Structure 1
Amino acid sequence: MKKFIFLFSLLLSTFSFAQLSYPEQANHVKSVVLRPLAPNRYVPIMRMGERFELSFDDLEADQKEYYYKIEHYDFDWNPSGLSDREYLIGYQTDRIRNYENSFNTLQFYTHYKVTFPNNETKFRLTGNYKITVYDEFDQVAFVRKFVLYEQKVSAGIEIRRSRDLSAYDTKQYVEFDIKYPNVIINNPSEEVKVVLMQNNDWNTAMTHLKPQYYRGQQLIYKYVNETNFWAGNEFRYFDSKGVRDANIEIARVDSGPNLYHTILFTDEERIDLPYSLNPDINGNFVIRTIDGGQNPDLDADYTWVFFSLQSLEDLRGKRIYINGAFNNWEARDEFEMKMNPDTGKYEAIVLMKQGFYNYQYLTIDKDGNRSNHDIDGSFHLTENDYTVLVYYRPFGARYDQVVGIGYGKSDRILN
Structure 2
Amino acid sequence: MTEQAERLRAEIRARLPKTLPARLGVAVSGGGDSVALLLLMSKIAQSEQVALFAATVDHGLRPEAAVEAQYVSALAGRLGIPHETLVWTGWDGDGNLQDQARQARYRLLSDWARGHAISAVALGHTADDQAETFLMRLGRAAGVTGLSGIRGKRLRDGLTLLRPMLGVTRRDLRTYLTEQGVEWIDDPSNQDIRFDRIKARQVLSDLKDLGITAHSLTRVAENLTQAREALEVFAQESARSMAEVDAGDICLDRAAFQTLPQEIKRRLVVGSIGWIAGRGYPPRQSAVDQAVQAIDTGTATSIGGCLLVPQGNKMWICRELNAVQGKVTRPGQKWDNRWIVTGPLVADAQIRPLGEAGLPQVPDWRNLGKPRQVFLASPAVWVADELVAAPNAGFSNGWHAELAPDWPQFHSSFLSH
Q: Which structure shows the bigger proportion of residues in strand conformation?
A: 1
Smaller-chain TM-score bracket: under 0.3
Q: Which structure shows the bigger proportion of residues in helix conformation?
A: 2
TM-score, length of structure 2 as denominator length? 0.28
Structure with larger RCO (C-alpha < 8 A, sep 6+): 1
Between structure 1 and structure 2, the one with the greater Rg is 2
